[in-house]
């Protein structure tokens, strides 16, 4: 009985060692994508009233966890029985990410007139603020779903030759880090100004070290958010371009002499604007049909 118990402990220890090694490999392969995930989601989680930032981030985090609960079992089943479907799903997700990145660039270059007339959050009613929150949360959760699919598939690919139990443990751990770690850092970023204000109020001395650090954090937050917005847009195009390059064989040799990151960005940008043109064309036709009716 005792020998069986110790044998079980030994098996568990061996399994954990294997998981640790495989986790490092999968972690390295998904590290860049986790960075993209952070940049995109930090930009998505910004732009809310101060009192609503943490509740919004928590709502997105819960949505992200639900995404993982949906994606993980489906990914294991599809990988085992219909692996070709995974590629199709990745490409569809890549089209959406490319479209979203291109749309951000288009709106920056050609801002809509109605956006300039949009009232500030402070002037909106509570119902309008909550309605906007719901829209942004839905958008953030949808983007998180697509990025999560990519993260899970890449992590799964890193351990595809391992035992099923090892695959489940490693990929699930990576998925958990992608949620808890990413949104934990996002929460810290968007609350920089609040933390800075508390540092300033920490003591009554003027121009103390805590005051300087507090003012630095408060002044840095808008720049960090703008920077993350830019990085997030670039990340969307890089991730989508990477999906196309790695899953569409005819793109493997495109601009072969160029650095991979530039090729992926350009492909993501070109595909994104093509999808944007198609979407705008469909919307335009739809509006004309509605006017005729």
pLDDT digits (tens, 9 = 90+) for 124-170: 666 776 787 788 888 888 888 877 887 787 777 667 667 777 778 88
pLDDT (0 to 100) of residue 29:
46
Q: Distance between alpha carbon 162 and the CA centroid of its chain, in Å?
A: 27
CB contact at 8 A, 78 and 86 = yes
- What is the distance of C-alpha 72 from the center of its chain? 16
Burial bucket for residue 67 (CB in 10 Å: 0-12, 13-18, 19+):
buried
Task: Let me know if residue 9 belongs to a domain.
Answer: no
- The alpha carbon of 239 is separated from its chain's Cα centroid by a whole number of angstroms, namely 10
Q: Write down the pLDDT at residue 293.
A: 66
Q: Is 275 within a domain?
A: yes
pLDDT at 270 over 60: yes
Q: Considering the domain boundaries, does residue 200 fall inside one?
A: no
**Contact indicator for 158, 26 with CB cutoff of 8 Å:** yes
Range of the domain at 107: 25-114+139-192+224-292
Q: Is the pLDDT of residue 190 over 90?
A: no
What span, in angstroms and rounded, lies between the C-alpha atoms of 178 and 173? Answer: 9
Q: Which two tokens stand for residue 20?
A: 């640790």
How would you label 39-60 residue by residue, b for 16+ Cβ within 10 Å and e otherwise?
bbbbbbbbebeeeebeebbebb
pLDDT tens string 57-89: 888 889 888 998 998 898 888 877 887 787 787
Res 199: pLDDT = 83
Question: Stretch 157-185: mean pLDDT, rounded?
Answer: 77
Domain assignment present for 162? yes
The mean per-residue pLDDT over the stretch 241-250 comes to 82
User: pTM of the predicted model, to two decimals?
Assistant: 0.67
User: Does residue 131 sit within a domain?
Assistant: no
Which of 22-26, 274-278, 287-291 bottoms out in mean pLDDT, i.e. has the lowest? 22-26
Radius of gyration (Cα) for the chain, nearest Å? 23
User: How far is CA 3 from each of CA 9, 11, 13, 166, rounded to the nearest angstrom?
Assistant: 10, 12, 15, 24
- Token code pair at residue 256: 């072969």
pLDDT at position 24 over 70 = no
In-domain check, residue 122:
no
pLDDT at 123: 57
Mean pLDDT, range 269-277, rounded to an integer: 94
37 CB neighbour count, 10 Å cutoff: 27
263 located within any domain: yes
Number of domains in the chain: 1
Say yes or no to pLDDT of 26 above 60: no
Tell me, yes or no, whether 120 lies in a domain: no
């Amino acid at each position: 009985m005792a020998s069986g118990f110790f044998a079980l402990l030994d098996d568990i220890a061996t399994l954990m060692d294997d998981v640790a090694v495989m986790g490092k490999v999968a972690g390295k392969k998904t590290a860049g994508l986790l960075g993209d995930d952070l940049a995109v989601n930090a930009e998505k989680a910004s732009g809310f009233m101060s009192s609503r930032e943490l509740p919004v981030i928590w709502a997105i985090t819960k949505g992200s966890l639900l995404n993982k609960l949906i994606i993980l079992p489906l990914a294991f089943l599809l990988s085992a029985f219909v692996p070709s479907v995974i590629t199709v799903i990745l490409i569809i997700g890549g089209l959406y990410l490319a479209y979203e990145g291109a749309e951000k660039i288009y709106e920056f270059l050609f801002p809509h007139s109605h956006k300039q007339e949009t009232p500030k959050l402070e002037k909106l009613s509570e119902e309008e603020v909550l309605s906007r929150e719901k829209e942004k949360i839905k958008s953030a959760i949808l983007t998180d779903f697509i990025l999560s699919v990519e993260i899970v598939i890449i992590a799964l690919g890193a351990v595809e030759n391992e035992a099923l139990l090892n695959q489940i443990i490693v990929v699930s751990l990576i998925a958990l880090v992608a949620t808890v770690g990413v949104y934990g850092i996002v929460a810290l970023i968007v609350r920089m100004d609040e933390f800075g204000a508390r540092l300033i109020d920490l003591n009554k001395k003027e121009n103390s070290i805590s005051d300087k650090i507090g003012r630095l954090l408060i002044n840095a937050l808008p720049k960090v958010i703008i920077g993350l917005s830019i990085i997030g847009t670039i990340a969307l195009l890089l991730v989508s371009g990477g999906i196309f390059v790695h899953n569409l064989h005819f793109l493997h040799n495109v601009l072969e002499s160029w650095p991979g990151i530039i090729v992926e960005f350009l492909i993501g940008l070109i595909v994104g604007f093509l999808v944007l043109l198609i979407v705008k064309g469909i919307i335009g036709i739809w509006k004309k049909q509605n006017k005729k009716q």
